[in-house]
Chain A
Amino acid sequence: MRRFGVGLILWVLANACRAMGQEWLATSQTHGFVSQGFVLTSANRFFGDSEDGSLDFTEAGINLSTRPFGPVLISAQGLFRRSGEVNPKEFRLDYALADYTLWSDVQGRAGIAFGRVKNPYGLYNETRDVAFTRPTIFLPQSIYFDRTRNLGLASDGGQVYGEYTTAWGEWSLRFAVGWPNGIQDKEFERLVVSRNLPGRFKTRLSYLGRLTYESPAGSLRLAITSGQVRPRYDPKGANPFQAGETTLVPVIFSAQYEGEKFTVTGEYALRFVKLRDFGRFLPDRSDTGESYYLQVAYRILPKLELVGRYDVFFADRDDTSGRKFAALTRRPRHTRFARDWTVGVRWDISRSWMVRAEYHRVNGTGWLPVSDNPDPNAREKNWHLFALLLSFRF
């Protein structure tokens, strides 16, 4: 009986596909990537035991997409990732969505997408795990934190989008409503209540939107991103904290100029963070974090690119030195800021292979993963990081 059921489903599917003129086959594609990194730090841990040199940095993904009929696109990507204690070994469904272009003509298009959709956040978030699309081995950590990366990655819900071309440039808007992935991660809990306790954060409906302007030839791009995420704590058992509420509101201004040889990129972000009702061990708090970076890439040869960046992070813009925080908590000041000078080189060996090397000189430990560096007093304020990455794509 079951065999008959499966046969019937296959028969129906086959006929549906034939009815669609086999467009789904003609338009289906698959792509993927594998990257392996090496990280060495003078102090502090980043992506594994990096003080002794860590290979604990692997990213791989494979995706499928098809246009079964006319304006519909269906796509999904599976991801494998290993990065220190934050993601010891993770398989995830990165995205799985159906996208319907409702309107499309000479001037632009508009549509909706449903499913697990990547969050429109700044310039790099949607493809942040694909080394080929990143400007450096590690994204500027002040804005694209690797420790809470899952929090911003994707949401289960829907998105509306619109693109409109005028004589003086193109405008596009993406607005997402959904339940963000990664709220339940222990790294997020460690960040808020400082340790791993019984219970987890729960996801609630969140909003995110990005408006982008692109100049006519696409050489200048300006964007503004904002949204609201409100994770609620659900403590269990002997947890000393109460069912508190966090509200995160990021605002990001992005600008990028892309010429034949030079690409200049800058982003500025404010993060409004509110903690409420966690009980007497964590008084209500309201901080504004501030981050920015400026990055210049230069293509000396078509296959060889140099990049330099200065990236700044402040956990609280009213306490950039961490002095007030240290007085209040007896924790080191340097856990509240980070200034990162980066230089790197990218060599595209062939269409499918790329290698990269980069060096970071960092002052501060503000964005280090708590899971990899559980004792804040054991962190070192000034440290160096060197990384190599080999990446393959198809």
Chain B
Amino acid sequence: MLYGEDFSPTVVASPSVVVDALSRNELRAIFFMRRRTWPDGTPIQVFVLPDDRPLHQAFCKQILNVYPHQLRRAWDRGVFSGTGQAPIEVETIEEMQEKVASSQGAIGYIGRDHLDASVKAVTVR
């Protein structure tokens, strides 16, 4: 496997996040940057890999059921019209795991084989 990446993505959140499961619609709202806070009021921080990474593409198609360019367009529209923000881009799965584990209210995705106790797996209903 290229770069040792496992292409079956798993949604993960920082351990303090109050949510264990999300519907596909909620997950879409979060990754399209339309949702700002968790139910307890903590700001959501979204982490993604660059558009051309196989794991990002697998996450978009398999979990969100959208194309990466649709997400990119929505982020650009928000950022450059002042109505939204972009997610934080990280370069590697290791960095994703580290950032999600250590940032408050963080959500992202990693390959299934990277899953460990530092992050919380979020079930997608």
- Residue numbers of A with Cβ under 8 A of B are 23, 26-27, 29, 31, 33, 61, 63, 65, 67, 69-71, 73, 75-77, 94-97, 99, 101, 104, 106, 108-109, 113, 117-118, 126-127, 130, 132-133, 161, 163, 165, 217-219, 258-260, 299, 302, 351
Contact = CB atoms under 8 A, between A and B. Distances in A.
Interface residues of B, number: 32
Given A67-B36, A101-B36, A109-B34, A126 B76 contact: no
Interface stretch (B6-14, B22-30, B111-119): B22-30
22 contacts: A26-B45, A27-B45, A27-B85, A31-B79, A65-B79, A67-B36, A67-B85, A70-B37, A70-B43, A99-B82, A99-B83, A106-B25, A109-B34, A109-B35, A118-B83, A130-B80, A133-B76, A163-B34, A165-B25, A165-B29, A217-B66, A259-B67
Given A63-B82, A351-B50, 13 more contacts: A29-B86, A33-B80, A63-B80, A70-B41, A70-B43, A71-B37, A94-B82, A101-B36, A106-B26, A117-B82, A161-B83, A258-B69, A302-B52
B54 interface: no
A23 B43 contact: yes
Contacts of B45: 26-27
B82 A97 contact: yes
Pairs of residues from A and B, 4 with the lowest C-beta to C-beta distance, nearest first: A126-B81, A75-B82, A95-B82, A127-B80
A3 to B, nearest CB: 34
Given A70-B37, A104-B37, A127 B81 contact: yes
A69 B29 CA distance: 19
Contacts of A97: 82
Nearest to B83: A99
Which of the listed residues B69, B82, B104 has the most CB atoms from chain A within 10 Å of its own CB? B82
A252 to B, nearest CB: 17
A26 B76 contact: no
A72 B85 CA distance: 12
A62 to B, nearest CB: 11
Question: By DSSP majority rule, is chain B's interface helix, strand, loop, or mixed?
Answer: loop
A77 B83 contact: no
Contacts of A130: 76, 80
Interface of B: 23, 25-26, 29, 34-37, 41, 43, 45, 50-52, 65-67, 69-70, 73, 76-77, 79-86, 103-104
Nearest to B37: A70
Nearest to A125: B81
Contacts of A161: 83
A142 B123 CA distance: 48
Given A101-B36, A109-B35, A77 B80 contact: yes
Nearest to B71: A218
Contacts of B83: 73, 75, 99, 113, 118, 126, 161
Contacts of A219: 70
A258 B66 CA distance: 10
Contacts of B25: 106, 165
Contact of B86 (A31, A33, A95, A96): A31
B70 A258 contact: yes
Contacts of A31: 79-80, 86
A161 to B, nearest CB: 8
A95 B81 contact: yes
Nearest to B75: A31
B70 A104 contact: no
A321 to B, nearest CB: 38
A71 to B, nearest CB: 6
A132 B80 CA distance: 10
Contact of B76 (A67, A95, A96, A132): A132
A127 B85 CA distance: 14
A92 to B, nearest CB: 13
A104 B36 contact: yes
A159 to B, nearest CB: 9
Given A127-B77, A133-B77, A165-B29, A29 B23 contact: no
Contacts of B51: 351
Contacts of B82: 63, 65, 75-77, 94-97, 99, 117-118
B55 to A, nearest CB: 16
A224 B35 CA distance: 24
Which of the listed residues A26, A94, A96, A97 has the most CB atoms from chain B within 10 Å of its own CB? A26
